[in-house]
Structure 1
Amino acid sequence: MTAPSGRTGRPPLTEARKAEIRLEIARAAVELFVSQGVAATTGEQIGQAVGVSARTVWRYFPSKESCVRPLFSAGIDVIAARLREWQPGRPLEELFTPGLLTATGPDGATGTALVRLTRTEPGLRAIWLQTYDEAEPAFARALATRAGLPADDLRPMIQAAMLNAALRAAVERFAWRASGVGADGATDAVTRETTGEAEVAETMRSALAIAAEGIS
């Protein structure tokens, strides 16, 4: 008897499903990091929270800290698209609205707590900074396309660097203030226990307005 031909067993996962699994792992990792700390969190725990094995977690990510990467990098393409569509004469800060933030990374109190962890956890800090390092050329390409300039033109490169730095400074400042701790480690007079997309967006808009003024 001739054996049946073709693949047997489970069908291969689609790229869309793989992306969903990565995001599920990322969200579970964040919840665990925030609730019990990075050191106390294991790959087994992250997998259990999602319903997969630790082996599956490591198949998608090289380390537990890198599990948060999809949340940090989710907004790069969204922001780049906004930059390409940015109409001449419109203030740069109008690019950011509260609704946009749901697609640009972790949001809410948990997301803010995760950003605060990047200050004290070297592994998370490395992922955080690497994400911004990868975002900068994407923003530069978008600005170059908008201006009809070559991708390696210095002007969009400088503009992207300023934009990128402004966004990171805004998010970090909001996270530090939300915890009641200022960037210098001192207690901030304005302590907020909860976060809101409108507040984060407003902080980002303020930072972009400052960046748009340039250096005088």
Structure 2
Amino acid sequence: MERTGRRTGRPPLTERRKAATRVDIARAAVRLFTTRGVAATSADEIAAAAGISVRTLWRYFPTKESCVRPLLTAGIDLTALALRNWPPGTALATVLDDLAAAAGDIVAEVPTLLALVRLTRTEPGLRAVWLRAHDDAEPVFATALAERAGHGDANDLHIRLHAAMINAALRVAVEHHANEPDPAGKGTAGKGTAGKDIVATVRTALLTAAVGLN
């Protein structure tokens, strides 16, 4: 439930620093997981690669697998923002286009994100983190849709079904894109095109899942 009188604008500097540290840890973890495997990578090695102490790492994450969560939730958070900012009478496509234009930070992380999503197919611990991220997102999506509908009942069956469809569409779109040939744009297309491609894939999936919402 959202609080009234909440802050607007950019988060305080300390929160931004914490968020940046979490992403740095996630990047370091993905680099090690993709080159060495999860089982062969220790929390101490992740901490060293991120330039922090292992004690600090445990303050941010409960397990070494959960270190990757900030990269997995970036697109989820952006989708939740799009749903919260989706005013009645406005096509969802318009909102998604506006959010895509502001998704520069996420697009920059696309190669790392796709490498991570591919790992979730063979690493059960990472798969659990990925699925848990989406499980946590579903009630957030439902709340946003309920508020948009004007009745605020996130437990309404119709609302919950649409939230589940949007959630599944987002997950399937990212997984589909990650496992396509040359998903990271390592060929002539380059990283920039890879970022645009995944945004287009997710946009298509969300619009398909949102059919019937008004």
TM score, norm. by length of structure 1: 0.77
2:103, 2:35 → 1: CA distance?
23
Pick the aligned partner of 1:205 from 203, 206, 211.
203
Shift of 1:34: 2.1
Contact 2:108 2:195 in 1 (8 A): no
Shift of 1:103: 5.3
2:102, 2:161 → 1: CA distance?
24
Match of 1:158 in 2: 161
Contact 1:167 1:204 in 2 (8 A): yes
Name which one, 1 or 2, has greater alpha-carbon Rg: 1
Over aligned residue pairs, what C-alpha RMSD do you find? 2.6
Shift of 1:15: 4.6
Shift of 1:136: 0.5
Pick the aligned partner of 1:133 from 116, 132, 135.
135
Match of 1:175 in 2: 178
Contact 1:78 1:104 in 2 (8 A): no
TM score, norm. by length of structure 2: 0.77
Contact 2:139 2:154 in 1 (8 A): no
Percent identical pairs in the alignment equals: 53
2:16, 2:207 → 1: CA distance?
36
1:99–1:124: structure 2 CA closer, same or farther, 3 Å change rule? farther
Equivalent residues, number: 192
Structure 1: gaps of 5 or more residues = 1-12, 181-190
- After TM superposition, the structure 1 = structure 2 runs for residues 9-48 of structure 1, keeping only pairs within 5 Å, are 14-48=14-48
Contact 1:93 1:208 in 2 (8 A): no
1:200, 1:15 → 2: CA distance?
28
Shift of 1:43: 1.2
2:171, 2:137 → 1: CA distance?
11
Letter in 1 for 2:198: V
1:137, 1:106 → 2: CA distance?
28
1:79–1:142: structure 2 CA closer, same or farther, 3 Å change rule? same
Q: Which runs of 4+ in 1 moved over 6 A?
A: none
Shift of 1:197: 1.5
- After TM superposition, the structure 1 = structure 2 runs for residues 71-110 of structure 1, keeping only pairs within 5 Å, are 71-97=71-97, 98-102=100-104, 107-110=109-112
1:117–1:95: structure 2 CA closer, same or farther, 3 Å change rule? farther
Contact 1:140 1:160 in 2 (8 A): yes
Match of 1:122 in 2: 124
